[in-house]
């Protein structure tokens, strides 16, 4: 039986890139979309709350109880919640695999790109922490591209060895961006699909 992969999303925009990445990188997988479109809207100025984390944990429990063979969170803001759950199946934070891929690439000047300021600051801080945790020295930059992603990166993204996309919604532009900049572009959905395939192996 083909493995069921639960995709827990906080915005509808994250769903197509995640489903597309599974279709390409883990075609045996059957995506199961679970959406709570208030998970982002309910985050206030102080960020996530214990109540919101609990809501995400309940969604993870729901996915596991429903027969998921693997669970992927598609909202980077809730990635830390995966550390609070002892799941009986592979459970991935949105950019866990992407961070690992970027840090194991051998590139030392990495540009984090986002379309939202909150996503840029959050992803940049967590990526820098991931590098410190692994004892890897990298120079990390940040670029905010609220629209015209490729054009903005072409104009302001020179001099970097690798681009890390901070949001799932930006993943569809990865190949075009790589061609425009001439450097590798790492996106969460593609890296996560590869990690899930390796972990589940069906």
CATH number for the domain that contains residue 45: 3.40.50.1860
C-alpha closest to that of 34 among 67, 12, 1: 12
Residue 30, pLDDT score: 96
Domain count, the chain: 2
Q: Could you report the average pLDDT of every consecutive run of 10 residues in the chain (202 residues)?
A: 94 93 95 94 82 95 97 90 93 94 95 90 92 95 92 90 94 93 95 95 67
- CA 54, distance to chain mean position in Å, is 20
Eight-state DSSP code of residue 176: H
Eight-state DSSP code of residue 171: G
Residues 60, 45 share a domain? yes
Global pTM?
A: 0.89
Beta strand residue intervals within 36-157, DSSP E:
70-73, 91-92, 109-114, 139-144
Residues 12, 78 share a domain? yes
Q: In which domain, by residue range, is 125 found? A: 97-187
Q: Please, which residues have CB within 8 angstroms of residue 43's CB and are 6 or more apart in sequence? A: 49, 52, 77
Residues 128, 53 share a domain? no
Q: Please, which residues have CB within 8 angstroms of residue 199's CB and are 6 or more apart in sequence? A: 70, 90
């Amino acid at each position: 039986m083909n493995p069921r992969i639960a995709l827990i999303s906080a915005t509808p925009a994250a769903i197509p890139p995640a489903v597309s990445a599974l279709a390409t990188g883990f075609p045996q997988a059957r995506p199961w979309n679970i959406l709570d479109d208030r998970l982002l809207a309910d985050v206030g100025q102080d960020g996530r709350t214990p109540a919101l984390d609990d809501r995400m944990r309940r969604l993870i429990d729901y996915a596991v109880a429903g027969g998921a063979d693997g669970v992927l969170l598609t909202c980077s803001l809730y990635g830390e919640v995966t550390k609070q759950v002892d799941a009986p199946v592979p459970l991935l934070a949105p950019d866990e695999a992407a961070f690992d891929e970027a840090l194991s690439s051998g590139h030392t000047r990495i540009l984090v790109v986002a379309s939202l300021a909150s996503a840029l600051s959050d992803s940049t801080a967590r990526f820098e922490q991931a590098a410190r945790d692994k004892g890897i020295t990298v120079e990390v930059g940040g670029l905010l591209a609220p629209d015209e992603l490729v054009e903005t990166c072409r104009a302001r993204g020179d001099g970097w060895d690798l681009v890390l996309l901070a949001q799932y919604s930006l993943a569809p532009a990865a190949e075009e961006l790589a061609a425009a900049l001439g450097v590798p572009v790492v996106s969460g959905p593609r890296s996560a699909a590869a990690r899930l395939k390796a972990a589940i192996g069906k």
